[in-house]
Structure 1
Amino acid sequence: MRQLLMATLALSLAGSAVAQSSSTVYQDSRSQAQRAAGDSQATAELFYMIEQLQREVRQLRGELEEQRNQLERLSQQSRSRYIDLDQRILGLSETLNKPAEAATPAAEAPVATPKPVSREYRQPAADERAAYQAIQTLIREDKNYDAAIGAIYDFIGKYPEGDLTVNAYYWLGEVYLVKPQLEQAKQAFTIVASRYPDHRKASDAVYKLGVTLDKLGEAEEAKRRMTTVVRDYPGTDAARLAKQFLDSH
């Protein structure tokens, strides 16, 4: 009887141990499943966030490409406008030069050019002065010559035939001379020299035209322009520089 009770107790304890072990395994399995489900959800959310970021990057790239295309179109339009204005300047300078050349007979020696009669130039308003000062800043301080060229063309188109317009043509020549784009510089200086010979910038323009011609290899024409400065604008700084040029050549 005693042996039977001990056997029953042993079986009871073994059954309890097995049940407890099974419960622990079940709980561990459940925890692992929960963790796996949580990891799966986190992974899904991460993929979703990555996909959103990729969409935003693609959108930004598209917008950037569109802006790049717009800038390229604007740049092309600006270059076309500059070329058109350069051609107009060149045509005007050639037209202005032809009457003077035709008036000199081939068999006669050239005569002195009569001193130009001073005229009244339209004085600039406040907005015109501000626009001109902005150009000076681009040239003197920023050294942004390409932007200065565009600003000068805009200025000449907006404020034609004024006192500062002549200055703008002169500085257009200076900027082209610095770049250097010598043919364009020649055109701009010729405009001032031929169309505005009575303006205060005329002596400087004729001198710089001589400098430009010399750089282009047109030595004789350069000397002729320097001689014109000395003769027609005596007492000016340009005349002094022109004489130095002639003495050294």
Structure 2
Amino acid sequence: MRWITMAAALRRSYLLAPVVVLATASCTSVPTTEDPIYLKLTDLEARLIRIERVMDNQSLIDLSSRVDLVQDQAQMLTGEVETLRYETDNGTDRQRQLYLDIDSRLQILEVTQAQTANLPPVAITDLNLEDSEPFVSRPRVLQGSDQDNYRVAFDLLKNGRYVESAQAFDQFLAVFPSSPLADNAQYWLAETYYVQRQFTTALPTFRAVVDSYPDSSKLADALLKIGFCNFELQQWDAARVALERVAREFPETTAARLASQRLERLTQEQG
């Protein structure tokens, strides 16, 4: 805008220079208000002023348009944030189901990996399946390997039969304590309590994963759920310790990302 104004001033000075000379030469014979040169000069001056005002107004219009555009974009972003917040607050059940679905696929890989270890199958011979307790009150235990029994317990969990799944995993750990799948069974036993919101029972069961299986692939998830359980029980300090450990020891993982998100909520809760 400054260079436009300077250009106009220069142009105006060039126009005025010869006109002033002529006006000076003839000022004695023609009144100023009737001098055609003076009138022309006045007209040019008025036109220049109008042009400058139009340009100034156009700049204000452009600035106003940009402000309106920024406000519209801010409103759109606010709407998106509110939508994401709503989906997050109301998506707990869906996330749990997705989590179970993903881990069911991992479970297939884990079973396959365990089978390739050439471990001899262990038959269940020390359990009496025809005891006085009705069959329907306990999960079915297959006559077969640890992989078979693990699959039965996990399928019960996937189907939402959490009480039966807990019994099956608990029985699995009693019969196959040295199985390569024992750490997974311990974790999913804790998960059966967690999905039922039995946090006081789930908490020590998740801790058993950390204490008994420190090299487990489920260690990060177990620590994360320890933090979640403490959060639900409003044990803020314990929750923070567990969540910060996940973020510190398992960076760049899904568990670390979830831990960081819960730490933000924890800060808000403690306010």
TM-score when normalising by structure 1: 0.48
- TM-score under structure 2 length normalisation: 0.45
Larger-gyration structure (1/2): 1
